[in-house]
């Protein structure tokens, strides 16, 4: 089981201005245009730390100097003692308002082989090198890792709701319409909440790169006590606001006869020709269903615009997949399509520009090319996810999208 602690923290002070102008998404989902927009919102927006301008190594020095300047000018303040915090996100989902509750605390860093923290995705090498250099320069963890607690007895949502009655130390409503609130958890609840989290399995939902980076830094700085823990936002699996969305793929470098070559592994049926309609259909089917939109047209009876792929009996087993892995479209796509045609793993395919990831199915189809196709996937079910990770398995990168993301700027954790 994971070790959970109150955390040392640095937080925005009143001199920073309106908190709604200070939060930013995690670094890996910020486009160049959005980064500039966030900088324009405030001279103290968290994007100026998590995604500093310029090239290495100057960008890391810039982030470090900003943090020092903000502390010196009381834009940032250090908490006077370690605390656990409650964090709530209120957002609109499928026409209703949903509130997600998390506890902000520190998780003891441990290698995945210990089973104390469970990963569910593989990672790309490049982002970890970048995050390590930034963390070293700032001597701080700038964004919380998003964890899901198994919470077998379903206690955490009710306890965090009770903690939400305290006066908020940060309230913000960001431009995406999400309302954020951070509160110190009263002393009488802290021990109970942290105990519930520590008593059960803890899964990394989002932030694999940052967790692995923090773990590497702890190995490089064995005498630095603060480097042995990582800032965490922990949500119960049973929280109403825990929403998992799909991440779709666009794959280039396909042979022109790729469809015929897949017929030994997949059964193929016609599907809707519009990206959103096809994505909705595979979402409703779930599990192993894969939607495909081929580029370019025109469509013919022999070459329909949309297809739905399902694995043929025995195809997953021949590829060495476990029954749990074989039930997930993202794994089937990786093992039975990507590795077959690209001749490489996701890391090298992404680095070569053959593989890209998209939340919007229309974006995956935006640039027709004769050797490319969009692969639209259903969301991963939490029960299937737990089953894979408990067997020691991992999904391909970007297999899940826990929405909304945990923002940067709620707290920073000094190391």
- Evaluate whether 413 touches 11 at the Cβ level (below 8 Å): no
Predicted local distance difference test score (pLDDT) of residue 265: 95
Fold of 4-243+403-414: 3.90.1530
CA distance 226 to 238: 31
What is the secondary structure of 19-68 as a DSSP string? GGGT-B--GGG--HHHHHHHHHH-TT-THHHHS-SSSTTHHHHHHHHHHH
Three-class SS state of 365? coil
Q: Which residues of the chain have pLDDT under 50?
A: 296-302
Predicted local distance difference test score (pLDDT) of residue 304: 58
Q: What is the CA radius of gyration of the chain?
A: 22
For 145, phi and psi rounded to 5 degrees?
-75, 135
Predicted local distance difference test score (pLDDT) of residue 300: 47
Give the pair of three-digit tokens for residue 387. Answer: 């089953």
CA distance 167 to 180: 13
CA distance 86 to 372: 45
Tens-place pLDDT, residues 225-245:
999 999 999 999 999 999 999
What is the secondary structure of 216-253 as a DSSP string? HHHHH-TT-GGGGEEEEEEEETT-TT-EEE--EEEE--
CA distance 218 to 15: 33
- Evaluate whether 132 touches 145 at the Cβ level (below 8 Å): no
Cβ within 8 Å of residue 275, ≥6 positions away: 293, 361, 362, 364, 365, 374, 376
Helices (H) and strands (E) in the chain, counts: 16, 20
For 377, phi and psi rounded to 5 degrees?
-120, 150
Q: Where are the domains of the chain?
A: 4-243+403-414, 247-378
Q: Which H or E element spans position 274?
A: none
Predicted local distance difference test score (pLDDT) of residue 298: 45
CA distance 135 to 142: 8
Give the pair of three-digit tokens for residue 244. Answer: 């998992």
- Evaluate whether 181 touches 87 at the Cβ level (below 8 Å): yes
CA distances from 198 to 121, 155, 206 (A): 22, 12, 19
């Amino acid at each position: 089981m994971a070790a959970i602690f109150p955390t040392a923290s640095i937080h925005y002070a009143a001199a920073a201005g309106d908190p709604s102008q200070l939060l930013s998404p995690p670094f890996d989902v910020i486009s160049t245009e959005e980064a500039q927009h966030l900088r324009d919102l405030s001279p103290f927006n968290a994007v100026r730390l998590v995604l500093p301008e310029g090239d290495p190594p100057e960008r890391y020095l810039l982030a470090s100097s900003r943090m020092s300047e903000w502390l010196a000018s009381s834009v940032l303040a250090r908490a006077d003692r370690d605390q656990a915090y409650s964090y709530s996100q209120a957002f609109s989902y499928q026409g209703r308002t949903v509130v997600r509750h998390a506890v902000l605390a520190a998780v003891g860093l441990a290698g995945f082989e210990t089973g104390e923290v469970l990963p569910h995705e593989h990672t790309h090498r490049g982002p970890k090198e970048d995050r390590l250099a930034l963390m070293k320069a700032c001597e701080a963890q700038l964004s919380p890792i998003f964890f899901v607690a198994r919470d077998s007895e379903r206690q955490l949502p009710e306890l965090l709701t009770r903690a939400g009655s305290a006066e908020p130390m940060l309230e913000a409503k960001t431009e995406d319409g999400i309302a954020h609130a951070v509160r110190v958890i009263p002393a009488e609840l802290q021990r109970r909440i942290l105990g519930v989290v520590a008593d059960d399995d803890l899964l990394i939902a989002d932030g694999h790169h940052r967790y692995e980076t923090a773990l590497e830094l702890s190995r490089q700085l064995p005498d630095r006590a603060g480097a042995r823990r990582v800032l965490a936002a922990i949500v119960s699996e049973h929280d109403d606001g825990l929403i998992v969305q799909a991440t779709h793929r666009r794959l280039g470098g396909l042979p022109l006869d790729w469809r015929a070559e897949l017929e030994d592994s997949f059964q193929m049926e016609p599907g809707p020709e519009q990206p959103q309609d096809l994505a909705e259909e595979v979402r409703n089917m779930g599990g192993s269903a894969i939607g495909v939109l081929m580029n370019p047209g025109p469509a013919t009876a022999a070459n329909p615009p949309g297809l739905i792929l399902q694995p043929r009996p025995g195809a997953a087993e021949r590829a060495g997949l476990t029954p749990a892995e074989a039930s997930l479209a993202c794994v089937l796509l990786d093992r039975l399509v990507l590795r077959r045609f690209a001749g490489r793993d996701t890391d090298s395919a992404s680095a070569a520009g053959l593989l890209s990831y998209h939340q919007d199915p229309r974006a995956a189809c935006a640039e027709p090319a004769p050797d490319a196709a969009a692969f639209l996937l259903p969301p991963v079910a939490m029960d299937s996810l737990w089953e894979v990770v408990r067997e020691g398995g991992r999904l391909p990168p970007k297999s899940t999208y826990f929405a909304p993301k945990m923002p940067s700027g709620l707290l920073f954790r000094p190391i």
